[in-house]
Structure 1
């Protein structure tokens, strides 16, 4: 039985029920995509188990999944509303059993709201099909639909919620004002109603409750400022999630530096909205416009570097883990290079004492004496994490530019906030997933001067009190 996941009591990260550090490393997956397709009608359960073991062996700890993926018409969880389809229940029975056996956890959201919206005329919740909701613009506020939402969550936790396989509930995927007739208080009202309902059921059934969040499509933080408070600060939620699909930088990349800088800035902006110690991470990102609208798949070598840079920018800027990619590839799976990048991140994690890392974002406070390097970082009085990214770009290939990975760069980084005294700095090759050096350094009242020699495209450094 997997221990449940909870928040670290003194830091914006996660721990297991036994007090060990736990970090969400993973990506979005779906029950219709190639690697999980064998679940349906139990067509190939051994292949799914092999896939999960492959993920675990590459450092993956968590998948983000939707109980219903509505791109087609054959994976509805309920049809009609209130009748849970036996084949789908069996699918989830099998998946939760496999995850428990392998040691994989799930960030679970009850609806695929994107395809529910775009294929509304087919959905069982549509009143035209005998469902409770007259219009998709009422999904978040329709009383009859709310009743169905609660019934789905109650069914799910009664059947599968007793397991530590569920890391947390994303109560609603990508809350959007259009789903609530653009009512300014709709998000908070939904959370006020659904969150305590689920928590009370879980306490009655299991004696404890899984963590909760809601997610939002990142640009909404700009378009609708009144969405920020419920997503990032609602008292019923345990951590905060956003989806990083910034236009022109992340959703359709032209190089592998600009998206990383965008992730650093977006993570910093998200942390500014959080007024307590709740963790934050990006639970969706990727080249969505390039793939979905332009119908192109990024070249693998470029995409691998784009992925790796974004995950390190996210972690170093104070996010929990490296963020969760939406594949946006053909086929709809992550590459081998991305899996190696996840392994490299996982192997780095023990260098920081996460349950006692009360970090703040340092992106704007780090000082690097070489303009060719961009610094990302976070720290507290006893630890710091710094990631340095080379900004030299090679000539374009197919309109896309990667980082120049050759030639040595020597620099010094000023890291503020550390208490005066001795520290140990561990240098990490993010591409190979290996330590490249370790040295003793000393912080003075003005901060810590960290010497860095970079021979590739980037380097991560963990700093801990000696």
Structure 2
């Protein structure tokens, strides 16, 4: 149905009515199928399902059914004027339903519109679904083979390599047109987006009414589709801390939830218990699922960024459990659900069965920590406290204060490099995810640092290895070395570090360019037989040395090639 024919009118009447059509009558499995149309009914707020509610109903070829909420929207035209994006609304707002068919064959769909005056349905209409394209693997899940790792529906393993890409600069969506291809060219398959007031946030000007933020939703449409085309999965953070925090990046004074601005909350922490605030967030979740729940490359819904900067305690935990359960009801594709914290390791939140993923955020400043050993310990503590749950170093950086401060203390981006690697070999389901994407990674052109990680893990089925995170012994005369590894049934992934090569916060020694010669790495607990040792340059991804190794007794001592800062080993049989 051409979009030029799609319109909406709001008129009073005793009963709603609707017309709708498919944007395509034939799609492939695991690709988006979309319908658009008009609803005639009486409402004040099209985002309030108590006033007007659209649901799409679908019949699959095997007889199963699927329901997907619909949403109100409008399209926009974009233009880049100077270095700034300008958006112009297209003429007609309208309604849509999006879904992803999961099997080939003949499907059927219809709309169901519900208002206080009654219910209207469209006729059942057929559409054809062809077999999935070779690069379509379904949705991301906790792997049934090893729940600490992720896999696609068809069993294809997934290891996250990427960074935070939370919001745009003045270029709006054009910034992502620049960043995402650069990342994809280096093997990146993960980014994290936020929905803040200054970017993709849909609730800012009027609580529960997203009319004036439909341009932001359209922007997020563009970016999610762009990421999917480049094979990049997205963690979508729904609520950032600032609007409700009194201690960090506070926007509470301008927050429409604030009673001083006519909102329902006397204090930020009331967000978790106030019935009106909870109902508004539930409405927002419905809209998010309706608009983006179809996405196969949506890795997870992240309920909060660093919620402990707002509040902690039983009310916060109960809120998370309730909202995660609601997402299970709303989202027919059962995307993963998580949240994040700014501080520490111990939180009852991570014990909630409703939360699928554990996240760690780590910024070293103002403490002069060795970044790899500190993060490795934090990952180990979480792993021991919540065995069987996937974990991710979701944010990291040498300095939380800003890119200028980070470069002043770490001009060689050693902390960035260390965090990326330890996130992976420390036991995460992916590498560490750096911050400062727009003011450091891009202007310093550090994208090349992702490619060696992507090559290091290529073809390794993490969920089939029963990996154990270990600290192998490594030594060289007169040198301070450290090693971290994942030991599996047929693969060992190891990272050997010159522990004196550091970022420059006193008393850390700073960069150490001296070559490391004569190092030996000892691996234990291995199956006897023939293995291959592939040593990899962590800056370029190139092979430094490849050699066959045979041993017995479960232990092998490997000569480490000459290196300076660090070197990686992929040991396979």
Q: 1:266 to 1:459 in 2, by over 3 A?
A: same
1:321-360 equivalent positions in 2, closer than 5 A: 321-327=430-436, 331=439, 333-350=441-458, 352-360=460-468
Residue equivalent to 1:97: 225
Q: 2: distance between equivalents of 1:266 and 1:150?
A: 33
> 1:401-453 deviations in whole A, cap 9, x for unaligned?
54323424222222222223322221111011112122222353353323212
Determine if the alignment matches structure 1 residue 215 to structure 2 residue 340.
Answer: yes
Which of 377, 382, 386 is residue 270 of structure 1 equivalent to?
A: 382
Out of 222, 227, 230, the residue aligned to residue 349 of structure 2 is 230
Q: Tell me if structure 2 keeps the 8 A contact 1:16–1:22.
A: yes
Aligned length: 429
**Structure 1 residues 397 and 149: alpha-carbon distance in aligned structure 2, compared to 1, 3 A threshold:** closer
2:391 is equivalent to residue 260 of structure 1: no
**Which structure: greater strand fraction?**
2
Asked if structure 2 preserves the Cα contact closer than 8 Å seen for 1:110 and 1:152, the reply is no
Corresponding residue SS for 1:459: strand
Cα deviation, 1:35-85, whole Å, max 9, x if unaligned, reads xx423xxxxx4x532332111112221211112x23x59955342111112
Q: Which residue of 2 aligns with 1:42?
A: none
1:251 aligns with 2:380: no
Q: Which has the higher contact order (CA 8 A, sep 6+)?
A: 1
| Structure 1 equivalent of residue 279 of structure 2 | 147
Once superposed, what is the RMSD of the aligned Cα atoms?
2.8
Residue correspondence of structure 1 range 280-295 to structure 2 within 5 A: 280-291=391-402
Which residue does 2:93 correspond to in 1? Answer: none
Q: SS where residue 6 of structure 1 aligns?
A: strand
For the residues of structure 2 that align with 1:407 and 1:25, how far apart are their CA atoms? 28
* Residue from 19, 38, 42 that aligns with 2:172: 38
Q: 4+ runs of 1 displaced by more than 6 Å?
A: 394-400
The match for 1:61 among 185, 189, 208 is 189
**Cross-structure match for 1:7:** 142
- Kept in 1: contact 2:397–2:415 (CA 8 A): no
**Are the aligned partners of 1:80 and 1:130 in contact in 2 as well (CA < 8 Å)?**
no
Q: Structure 2: where are the runs of 5+ without partners?
A: 1-30, 32-135
On the 8 A contact 1:64/1:106 being kept in 2, the answer is yes
- Structure 1: where are the runs of 5+ without partners? 40-44
Give the TM-score of the pair, scaled to structure 2.
0.69
2:399–2:406 CA contact under 8 A, matched in 1? no
Q: Which residue of 1 aligns with 2:294?
A: 162
Q: Write the distance in 1 (CA, Å) between the matches of 2:258 and 2:430.
A: 37
CA distance in 2, matches of 1:431, 1:417: 29
Residues 1:130 and 1:328: Cα distance change in structure 2 (over 3 Å): same
TM-score after normalising by structure 1: 0.83
Superposed counterparts of 1:343-382, under 5 Å:
343-350=451-458, 352-363=460-471, 366-370=472-476, 371-382=479-490
Deviation for aligned residue 1:173: 1.7
Q: Deviations over 1:212-242 (max 9, x none)?
A: 112111x332xxx4x1x322x3222222112
CA shift at 1:343, angstroms? 1.4
Hey, what's the Cα distance between the residues in 2 that align with 1:157 and 1:26?
A: 24
When Rg is computed on C-alpha atoms for both structures, the one with the higher figure is 2
- Please give the alpha-carbon distance, in whole angstroms, between the structure 2 residues aligned to 1:394 and 1:423: 33
Distance 2:264 2:417 in 1: 43
Q: Structure 1 residue 299: deviation in Å?
A: 4.5
Q: Which moved more, 1:409-418 or 1:148-157?
A: 409-418
Contact 1:244 1:266 (C-alpha < 8 Å) held by counterparts = no
* C-alpha distance in structure 1 between counterparts of 2:405 and 2:183, whole Å: 26
